[in-house]
Amino acid sequence: MNPRHYLSFLDLSGDETRALLQRAIELKQQLKSGGHHDDLLRGKTLGMIFEKSSTRTRVSFEVGMQQLGGNALFLSPRDTQLGRGEPIEDTARVLSRMVDCVMIRTYEHEKIELFAKHSSVPVINGLTDLEHPAQLLADLQTYVEHRGDIRGKRVAWIGDGNNMCHSYMYAARQLDFQLVAACPEGYDPEPSVVETTQEHFELTRDARAAAEGADLVVTDVWASMGQEQEKSARRRAFSGFFVDADLMRLANDDALFMHCLPAHREEEVSTDVLEGPQSVVWDEAENRLHAQKALLEFLITLNAS
Ligand code: CP
Ligand code: NVA
């Protein structure tokens, strides 16, 4: 039987996602009240392939596996045969005979799809150029913890129509909220993602229009990993897409601010917003741990049963 993978936010239904977020909240509460859950994935191993840098994703998956009683292997292309041209298909077949789950952070989304096609164990997207669904689980957990259900809410995405924006668009469809993205011309989300999310998505060129009446305001870096050479052109294109206190004032009084981090203060977001009372970025970062533990438990347990 083919394992369930988590390559896209669309890979879990809305109901499955809601249940997973509740489980994440439960695991977090247990941990905070001194509980242990090292029996849940005892003896299981997660392989982690990183073709791009990471702080949060690496640490949260690695610590998460430890807390669940398993362990995690950090694999970089520099030190494995992947970096010397061993085919992805072969790597997938070999690794999945030894580990119980694989997490991959890479560039082209097609690579992770190819890996998953040849893997006999679940594969998790730890960020590709197209999506960052594991981050969305943490963002949604954070929203639920602070404000309750996100159904019917208005979320403003300010900036690049990038991997995070795509996962927010899919999340809007799965969890039934409205995403309004303000992106400069030339930096729109992928047409295929727009096509799939039409009823839950609006695009504008005006950051102020997007922020108006929002329950949650989200932004991200202007140049993602792999786009470093476009930095100065992007700085010019994104100059009207800065999240500051003036923009936040247009949102609802109880609106939250999120950023997946790392952030560039005074570039895409002002220091006072990032450090201010509406910002929940540190909870959001912490929730990578709890949400991914729930995801690992779900996928590995399902595949073993
Ligand atoms: N937000 C996020 O994925 O952070 P890292 O790049 O540090 O993993
Ligand atoms: N959009 C950013 C997210 C980093 C976590 C990137 O892809 O670099």
Q: pLDDT (tens digit, 9 = 90+) per residue, 212-258?
A: 999 999 999 999 999 999 999 999 999 999 999 999 999 999 999 99
Ligand 1 centre distance from Cα of residue 260 (Å): 7
Residue of the CA atom closest to atom 7 of ligand 2: 224
Q: pLDDT (tens digit, 9 = 90+) per residue, 157-208?
A: 999 999 999 999 999 999 999 999 999 999 999 999 999 999 999 999 999 9
Ligand nearest to the CA of 227: 2
pLDDT at 1 exceeding the cut of 80: no
Ligand 1, residue 132: give the atom nearest the CA: 3
Catalytic residue among 67, 135, 141, 292: 135
Predicted local confidence at residue 215, as pLDDT: 99
Ligand 2 centre distance from Cα of residue 184 (Å): 18
Q: pLDDT (tens digit, 9 = 90+) per residue, 248-302?
A: 999 999 999 999 999 999 999 999 999 999 999 999 999 999 999 999 999 999 9
Are 181 and 160 contacting, i.e. CB atoms less than 8 angstroms apart?
A: no
Count Cα neighbours of 169 within 13 Å in the Cβ-side half-sphere.
Answer: 27
Predicted local confidence at residue 78, as pLDDT: 87
Domains of the chain: 5-132+285-303 (3.40.50.1370), 135-282 (3.40.50.1370)
Predicted local confidence at residue 283, as pLDDT: 98
Ligand 1 centre distance from Cα of residue 261 (Å): 6
Mean pLDDT of 12-20: 98
Task: State the binding site for carbamoyl phosphate.
Answer: 54-57, 81, 105, 132-135, 260-261, 288
Our answer to whether residue 132 is catalytic in this structure is yes
Q: pLDDT (tens digit, 9 = 90+) per residue, 98-113?
A: 999 999 999 999 999 9
pLDDT at 77 exceeding the cut of 90: no
User: What 3-state DSSP class applies to 47?
Assistant: strand
Phi, psi of 48 (to 5 degrees): -125, 115
Predicted local confidence at residue 305, as pLDDT: 83
CA distances from 41 to 153, 195, 255, 269 (A): 35, 38, 37, 39
Ligand nearest to the CA of 61: 1
Q: Which residue has the tokens 């989304």?
A: 109
Tell whether ligand 1 has an atom less than 6 A from the beta carbon of residue 260. Answer: yes
Ligand 2, residue 127: give the atom nearest the CA: 7
Sequence-distant (6+) residues with CB within 8 A of 141 are 21, 24, 25, 287, 290, 291
Phi, psi of 282 (to 5 degrees): -80, -35
ipTM above 0.90, yes or no: yes
Our answer to whether residue 220 is catalytic in this structure is yes
Q: What order do you get walking across the sheet with 216-219 strand by strand?
A: 201-204, 178-182, 154-158, 216-219, 256-259
Mutate to test the pocket of ligand 2, among 109, 129, 163, 230 (most ligand atoms within 8 A of CB): 163
Task: State the binding site for L-ornithine.
Answer: 163, 220, 224-225
